[in-house]
Structure 1
């Protein structure tokens, strides 16, 4: 059962650790595909964090995300259609982080997801609410590059590396090309 829509699949956002292939990330439950999430990651990095990569990664790792959106909400006022209902204890169902997006409801905690790429390529097992992830966006500090992975046949497949210079000049065409690679993998299977 899917509680949240999976229009673009669920994603992970995070970074590689100091040891080969090990990573830590947080979930993004809506619009995980590159045509949305990769573009929003770039906008958050560029606009919200003025290209401060360390601050950007730290902030991503602070929350489990419902959806990432740099313009959410620009004024700090939550749009009427996105206001969270108040729970019996007085807390709002969702959190909103200006310039980053909407967090998951406090009662659906996933916390940090950890894994390793490279040795066996396996994706993480069942995740938040029994769902799995379709995409992973992992920053590698040593290379100063964003890596994009997609799930295919139960394994993570590396589909793109965006070194800092390419990442800084990310285009819509590049995001769509990366997203199309998943379709190629699905057809080949």
Structure 2
């Protein structure tokens, strides 16, 4: 006969014990490149200018100095994992070509794809309709309103020195 702990469910897929979802560390590696960024890069640009526009490449190889690999991966809880590769080919110091994947997102598309914040579906109402305004009780008259503490003066038993009185001098 098995002990009672041996019959407990274990990790299945994304859930522990069939109920709990464990915390997953967000892993972001490489350079985020968008369509707007790669549109600024043109063939014939020097390596330094390409580096200024796209950032330092994730992979450079001493055996293939004419190739820079811009790799980007992200795994974020609640969002689909993403992986992209942009390859810059150089002829000497000048950019020869830039191989860009077709699914490279715009900046807005990228932010939307990694945004795991889900706002509430209902919208806040900022103004009342005329019918709602008419349904409200009328405001109290000023005579019915409770008197304020400022109108009554200071609390009984308290006295305050005048503000313009000079402080007493102490002898030393």
User: TM-score per shorter chain, which class?
Assistant: under 0.3
**Structure with greater helix share of residues:** 1
**Higher normalized contact order (CA 8 Å, seq sep 6+, divided by chain length):** 1
**Structure with greater strand share of residues:** 1
TM-score if structure 2 supplies the norm length?
Answer: 0.26
> Which protein is bigger by CA-based radius of gyration?
2
